[in-house]
Structure 1
Amino acid sequence: MELNGARVLVAGATGVLGGAITTELADRGARVALAGRAGSRLAHAARTRPGTPTVSFDAYAPESCARAVREVAAAWGGLDAVVVAFGSVAFGLAAEVGDKVAEHLMAVNHLAPAAFFRAALGILRPGSAIAAVTGVVAERPQPRMADYSASKAALTAWLDAVRREARGAGITVLEIRPTHLDTGFAERPVTGTTPRLPEGGDPRQVAVGVADALEADAELLRSGPDGGPVVERRAR
């Protein structure tokens, strides 16, 4: 897709990775709308990007996710891409995490992105795209992260199925699957203690890769052996 002039909604734009993606897309000429939780961070994002549309949503309320898509599409007369870059993490033994936390992770990491995309798929035209951040745990689940890994793997499975549905409509489904990034995300778990993690990658590199992948109509962005982003036209 051509990013210059494209209308893109970034959900999670107030986060480190979402903010980096927003900046990169805007630098390439995209018209970007910012979606995040209502509060000071969304207000700050609006102040730092004057004239940029903002919309709030609650990741625990799927209807608010769909409403965010509809509001931006109505204001702009359509959308060309929806990028989801938010999530929630928890650490601990599976027997100790608890059902409420497991339900929360599945709601935020799988059901909320799916709600954004369900609304978008009813609006997007051929040549458009949806994109979501999953993570390497979706393909390599980790101990003490069982429910977090499962929630991201569920989103990967959903994207894989929808990708095959959307190809015939000319809509690209991009999965963004980086290794651990230096965003502070892992230091804010819903429960548990953050384990020792490898040095995090640069979210700005991933943001560049996301923009490159969207321009190439790619289906997968993963981390290479050196940690840098690798764009793959077809998901495996």
Structure 2
Amino acid sequence: MTSLAGSSILVVGASGGLGSVIAQILADEGALLTLHGRSEEKVRALNVPGTFVYSDLLDAGSDDELVAAALAAHGRLDGVINAAGVVAFGPAAETSDETMDILFGVNVLSPMRLLRAARPALLESAAAKRDPFFLTLSGVVSESPTANMAAYSASKSALAAFAQATSRELRREGIRVVDARPGHTETGLATRPVAGTAPKMPTGFDPAVVARRLVDAIMAGERDLPSGAFVPQPAA
């Protein structure tokens, strides 16, 4: 895939600090977008052309609704970028069941269900030689689990394992499953934890740089983006 012009792409978490930048870059590349967020106000405020979908990823059937919206809007689905995620901080022994349920529900189960829902449409895209893809963002913690972020690290490690395994399963079907593991990025996510308080962190990557790297990887046909694939360019 050397061009995204005319490709139908679903961006989950498009109203977030990273998803919003990805959406803008994809729009500039000429992609046909379906943009998801929990808040209608935040998604529309992106000022990016596309079809808007609003849902809580913890709700049953949300995955099917997202795929159906993309198909209804553009007649096909050529790619999915899962930029949604939640974080929590604090000792593992003090992490509540509710926090663990939310972390694994959003960070693991939602993308698993979404890939399952999207597969038939992505298979049709593969048959049409459009090089379909499904991109996840497990982040650097899936490579280096972090103390006082144990439950979050576990959820992202599970996502990375899922992406790696399904990449092998779906490769023969012509579907690329790509996992990206950038370092800490200044998306604002750490300021909105499900639980706990973020420790003092060094300045993270610029979301614009990370987003550009992700889109370039999609266009170049890359199949894995480990932490080393991201050049340290901190946000201003």
Q: Same fold (TM over 0.5)?
A: yes
Residue in structure 2 matched with residue 63 of structure 1 by the alignment = 61
Residue in structure 1 matched with residue 224 of structure 2 by the alignment = 220
Q: In the alignment, which of 49, 52, 74 is matched to residue 50 of structure 2?
A: 52
How many residue pairs match? The answer is 226
Residue in structure 2 matched with residue 201 of structure 1 by the alignment = 205
Q: In the alignment, which of 137, 147, 151 is matched to residue 147 of structure 1?
A: 151
Aligned AA for 1:135?
G
Q: Within 5 A, what are the aligned runs for 1:146-165? A: 146-165=150-169
Residue in structure 2 matched with residue 25 of structure 1 by the alignment = 26
Maintained 8 Å contact 1:134/1:152? yes
Residue in structure 1 matched with residue 76 of structure 2 by the alignment = 78
Q: Within 5 A, what are the aligned runs for 1:98-177? A: 98-124=96-122, 125-126=125-126, 127-177=131-181
Residue in structure 2 matched with residue 15 of structure 1 by the alignment = 16
| Deviation beyond 3 Å, 4+ runs, structure 1 | 222-226
Residue in structure 1 matched with residue 190 of structure 2 by the alignment = 186
Maintained 8 Å contact 1:181/1:203? yes
Q: C-alpha separation between the residues in 2 aligned to 1:154 and 1:62?
A: 20
Aligned AA for 1:13?
A
SS at match of 1:35: strand
| CA RMSD across the alignment | 1.6
SS at match of 1:16: coil
Q: Does 1:89 align with 2:87?
A: yes
- Alpha-carbon shift at residue 43 of structure 1 (Å): 3.4
Aligned AA for 1:177?
R
| Structure 1: stretches of 5+ with no match in the other structure | 229-236
Maintained 8 Å contact 2:58/2:106? yes
TM-score by length of structure 2 reads 0.91
Q: C-alpha separation between the residues in 2 aligned to 1:227 and 1:119?
A: 35
- Alpha-carbon shift at residue 40 of structure 1 (Å): 2.1
Q: Within 5 A, what are the aligned runs for 1:35-50? A: 35-45=36-46, 48-49=47-48
TM-score by length of structure 1 reads 0.91
- Alpha-carbon shift at residue 226 of structure 1 (Å): 4.4
Maintained 8 Å contact 2:182/2:227? yes
- Deviation per residue, 1:196-225 (Å, 9 max, x gap): 112111011111111111111111223437
| Structure 2: stretches of 5+ with no match in the other structure | none
Q: Which region of structure 1 is more displaced relative to structure 2, 142-151 or 210-219?
A: 210-219
- Alpha-carbon shift at residue 140 of structure 1 (Å): 0.7
Aligned AA for 1:33?
T
